[in-house]
Amino acid sequence: MLIQFSVSNFKTFKNKATLDLIASNYDKETREKENVIQIPEFGLRILKSAVVYGANASGKSRFMDALAFMKTFVIRSSTDRLKGDPINVDQFRLATDIENASTEFEILFIHNNEMYRYGFEISKQAVLAEWLYHRPKTKEIEIFYREGQRFEFHVKRFSKGHTLAKEDLVRENALLLSVAAQFNDQLSGEIINWFKKLTVISGLQEHRYQRITLDKTDDINQKKRILELLAVADLGIHDITLERIDLENLPADMPKRLKELMLKEASESNTAFISDILTKHRRYDADKNYIGDVNFSLEDDESSGTFKLFSLAGSVLDALEHGYPLFIDELDSKLHPNLVCKLAELFNSSTTNPKNAQLIFNTHDTDLLSSGLFRRDQIWFTEKDRYGAASLFSLSDFKSEVRRTENFQSNYIQGKYGAIPFLGEFISPFVSQIISDDKK
C-alpha cells in the first residue's frame, strides 16, 4: 500500500513534488467508509484512489515516469549496468542553478503490515545517497544510510548489506538494496517484491500491457472476471477466444531466423504466440430471435475503446485481486467517461476491492469532478510555471477556500484551482492576412 511518493530534479519537476495518499481530516465527513483505508496500528487513513488533472505538458505523465524510473532502477540497478556505466536519469534541464544537483526519489509504503521508507539520490554517474527505514510497529528504525561509498548499518537487521559493503561488492552506480536482493537478502527481497507488484502503465500503449490479460484467459475463473468487466461496459461481448500460432506448422516461406527466434522464446518462457483475439457476439434473425454467434477480431473489428478496456482488464483485476497499487497514465483516452467512473468505483468499493488496492491515474475528463466519487484530498493537479518547472498539489491544499459542496468541475474549468492551459490566439494576424489574401 502506497502512502507517499516524492521526486525532485526529474524531467519537468525541478523542485520536490509529493503525492500524499494520507487522507485529510478536512475531508473526514466525505466518503470516509468507501474511499479510505483505516490502518489503526499506524494511526493512518489512506486513500484508495487519486486522480490528477493538468494542462498538456504540465507534468502529469512525467510524474508517472518518475515512479516508473524509480521502480526500474530499484529492481535492475545491480544487473543492468557495469562499473562506470552512466545512469540514464533525465534531469530538469531549464535552470542553470541546479545543473550539478542530484535527483532524489523517496517512497513510503506498507508491506505485510509493516511500514518502510526508502529513497536515494543519484547523479548521471553514481548513487550519491541511499537510505532505508523500517517501522514494524510504532518506532521507525534506520536499517542503513549510505553517502557515496560510505555506509552505516543496523548490523543486526541488515547483516548481508554490511557484508556486501565491507567486501566492496556495491558499485558506485548500483543501489545497495538491489545488490543485497541479488545476494538473497530477505529484507531487500521483500522490498524488491513490493516494487515489482507496483504497476505503472500508459493508457496510450495498449499492446505493452495486454499480455497480462491474455495470460489470464487460460484460467476459467480469471476469464469469467474479464468477461464480467467487459459486460459492465455494455460491449455486447459474451466470450473471448485466443487464436494461437501453431509452432509446429509455421509457413514454409517464413524467414528461418524468425522461426528460430519464435521457437527459442516459446521454449525458454513457455510463451504462446497469439495470431488474433476473437470476441464472440450474439446474432439475431429478422424477428430478433437469437440464432447463434459470430466472431469479431478484437484488433480489426472492435472499437479502440473496446481494445483498450480488454488490454487494461488484466492489470485492473490483478491489482484488485492482490491489493497492488496501480498507476495509469491517460486512463480516459478512448474510454467513455461513465466507464472511467466505473473503474474508479471498483477501487473505492470495499466489496470489489477487499485487499485495498489503489488506483492513481491522470485524465482530462472533467466530468469526474462532478461525479461525487472523489473527495478533495483525492483530486490533484499539476501546473507548470513560466520557467518550465512543474508542481503537484491537491485540492485539499486550498482547505477552507474550497467547500466540499462546491462544483469542482465548473471551478476547475474557470481556472479557480489553476492547472489549466492559458490559450493564446490560434490564428495570428499574419495567418489571418494570408487567409484573407487567398480569398481574394
Global pTM reads: 0.87
Q: pLDDT band at residue 439, thresholds of 50, 70 and 90?
A: low
Q: Average pLDDT of the chain?
A: 88
pLDDT confidence of residue 425: 57
pLDDT digits (tens, 9 = 90+) for 7-48: 999 999 999 999 999 999 887 878 888 999 999 999 999 999
Residue 392 pLDDT level (bands cut at 50, 70, 90): very high
Backbone region of residue 415 per phi and psi (left: phi > 0; alpha: psi in -120 to 50; beta: other values): left
Domain ranges of the chain: 1-198+324-440, 200-323
User: 114 is written with which cell numbers?
Assistant: 509493516
**1-198+324-440: CATH topology:** Rossmann fold (3.40.50)
Is residue 254 scored above 90 in pLDDT? no
Tell me what the mean pLDDT of segment 72-82 comes to: 91
Which of 426 and 394 is assigned the larger pLDDT?
394
Please tell me the predicted confidence (pLDDT) of residue 75: 96
Cα gap 369→364, rounded to integer Å: 10
Instruction: Give the residue, 335 or 399, on which the prediction is more confident.
Output: 335
* pLDDT bracket for residue 267 (50, 70, 90): low
Quick one: pLDDT band at residue 268, thresholds 50, 70, 90?
low
Residue with cell 485487499: 355
Write out pLDDT tens, residues 328-360: 998 988 888 888 889 999 999 989 999 999 999
Q: What is the dihedral of CA 202, 332, 320, 314, to 10 degrees?
A: -60
pLDDT digits (tens, 9 = 90+) for 156-190: 889 999 999 999 999 999 999 999 999 999 999 99
Looking only at Cα atoms, what is the longest distance across the chain? 86
